[in-house]
């Protein structure tokens, strides 16, 4: 029976706390527990080691049948691999913000160096029949580094963020190197069909791309498969979190709201989320539909992320300024129209907040999927659900078609959708909710996980010369 090995930039090391796991952790922990497996990656710590004598830095922990293997990075590697290349080159470019890309050759070298380091440290832990599942944009070169070390196991990759069109991607100086490296994976998974097509279009502009049938391709001498696997949630778990008695703080919040309708939005502070545009759309609601003044509140939860990156500092300042301006313009002594909370909320509490609100406002400028949109729907009261207003540029819009789909760049469009959501009849709200819940249950996190691993397991194993042999490993069906 093949063992599953998961590799991600950060790993969720169990520490006994009640902190809720993020989307990636929820998606793979069950798989690791079912098969027995290894989760490998950076532990989030900065070390003083030079990179030459790092053997003693690798730590391993066994918990519930899973081995967690992690290591720290030194300051230079962290700066170049994580802050500079991953988050000031790949992240903005893949979210269609070339204006924010700050490419430095040293950062690219550091990005490749850390991928090499991680591959070297993982190799001794691998078994011949292991199946490897690599996650996200920090590790685009990882399979190529493993292949250099003679690792011929099946290696799959899933990109959690969008993949940009060739006009964007090919503007990156190392775009050809990245595409060649990505072709060393056996399976490349994307959130949406448009992301998959964008990747193939970028390839076809640089090299001869041969179609081998069943979404299998040949490029740069490698045969690989591409497929779409929209990541899901556990809707019934979210529903359970949202139900039940309210804690004292939540009960006080409900009393404070009174008859006010509440619009909620929650995401980490990031320029890809369209927060300034959303603030202006809410202002347009108050301007274009004055009947809502004094009767609605917009609560924006946006905890700081990557606070040491200048672009994130700038957007925080911008939001603070806009929130103050809107409240100053429309607020009264008895009514504050916009609550902006730059803080983290426990996930279980957040689901209860979602259930109390009338509208979920999720309008990113570009997003791979956006699980918050799915969680908002799953948290609703089936007999009196709120309405989801969702950006067409979120991957979730491909599935949640019964949401009110908007263009986040058009503030009047978003304002009109908010007015419609706030006045929507209960029967229509229930119908839309039921449609979306059916999708969430069909394409839940288990379906995402099982579909990817099933496809990866059916692919042939590479031979020593990077060809393939028709050997199919035994891999259990995940419950």
Supply the residues annotated as catalytic: 160, 367
Residue 128 to residue 121: CA distance in whole angstroms: 16
Tokens read off for 182 = 């990505």
Residue in 83, 84, 101 with CA at minimum distance from that of residue 92? 101
CB atoms within 10 A of CB 257: 15
Pairing of strands 216-219, 37-47: unpaired
Tokens read off for 86 = 């991953």
Using H for helix, E for strand and C for coil, what is the string for 48-71? CCCCCCCHHHCEEEEECCEEEEEE
Using H for helix, E for strand and C for coil, what is the string for 94-131? HCCCHHHCCCCHHHHHHHHHHHHHHHHHHHHHCCCCCE
Residue in 364, 216, 222, 379 with CA at minimum distance from that of residue 281? 364
């Amino acid at each position: 029976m093949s063992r599953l090995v998961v590799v991600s930039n950060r790993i969720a090391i169990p520490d006994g706390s009640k902190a809720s796991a993020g989307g990636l952790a929820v998606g793979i922990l069950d798989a690791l527990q079912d098969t027995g497996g290894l989760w490998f990656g950076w532990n989030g710590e900065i070390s003083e080691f030079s990179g030459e004598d790092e053997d003693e830095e690798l730590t391993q922990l066994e918990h519930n049948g899973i081995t967690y293997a992690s290591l720290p990075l030194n300051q230079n590697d962290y700066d170049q691999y994580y802050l500079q290349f991953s988050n000031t080159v790949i992240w903005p470019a893949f979210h269609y913000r070339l204006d924010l890309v700050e490419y430095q050759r040293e950062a690219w070298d550091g990005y490749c160096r850390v991928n090499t380091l991680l591959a070297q440290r993982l190799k001794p832990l691998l078994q011949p029949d292991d199946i490897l599942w690599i996650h996200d944009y920090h590790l685009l070169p990882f399979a190529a580094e493993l292949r250099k070390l003679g690792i011929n196991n099946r290696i799959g990759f899933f990109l959690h963020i969008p993949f940009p069109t060739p006009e964007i991607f090919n503007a990156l100086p190392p775009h050809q190197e990245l595409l060649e490296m990505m072709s060393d994976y056996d399976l490349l998974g994307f959130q949406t069909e448009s992301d998959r097509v964008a990747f193939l279009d970028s390839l076809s502009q640089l090299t001869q791309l041969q179609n081998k049938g069943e979404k299998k391709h040949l490029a740069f001498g490698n045969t690989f498969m591409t497929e779409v696997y929209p990541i899901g949630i556990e809707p019934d778990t979210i529903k359970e979190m949202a139900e039940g008695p309210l804690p004292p703080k939540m009960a006080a919040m409900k009393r404070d709201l009174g008859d006010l309708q509440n619009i909620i939005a929650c995401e980490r502070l990031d320029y890809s989320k369209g927060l300034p545009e959303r603030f202006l759309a809410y202002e347009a609601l108050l301007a274009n539909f004055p009947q809502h003044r004094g009767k609605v509140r917009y609560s924006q939860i946006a905890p700081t992320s990557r606070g040491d990156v200048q672009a994130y500092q700038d957007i925080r300042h911008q939001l603070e300024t806009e929130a103050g301006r809107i409240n100053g313009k429309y607020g009264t002594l008895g009514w504050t129209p916009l609550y902006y909370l730059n803080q983290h909320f426990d996930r279980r509490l957040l689901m209860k907040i979602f259930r109390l609100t009338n509208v979920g406002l999720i309008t990113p400028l570009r997003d791979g999927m956006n699980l918050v949109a799915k969680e908002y729907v799953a948290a609703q009261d089936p007999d009196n659900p709120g309405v989801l207003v969702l950006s067409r540029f979120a991957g979730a819009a491909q599935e949640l078609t019964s949401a009110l789909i908007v263009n986040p760049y058009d503030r009047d469009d978003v304002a009109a959708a908010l007015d419609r959501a706030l006045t929507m009849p209960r029967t229509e709200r229930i119908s839309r909710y039921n449609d979306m819940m059916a999708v969430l249950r069909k394409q839940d996190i288990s379906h995402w996980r099982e579909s990817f691993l099933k496809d990866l397991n059916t692919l042939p194993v590479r031979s020593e010369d990077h060809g393939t042999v028709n050997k199919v490993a035994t891999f259990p069906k995940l419950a």
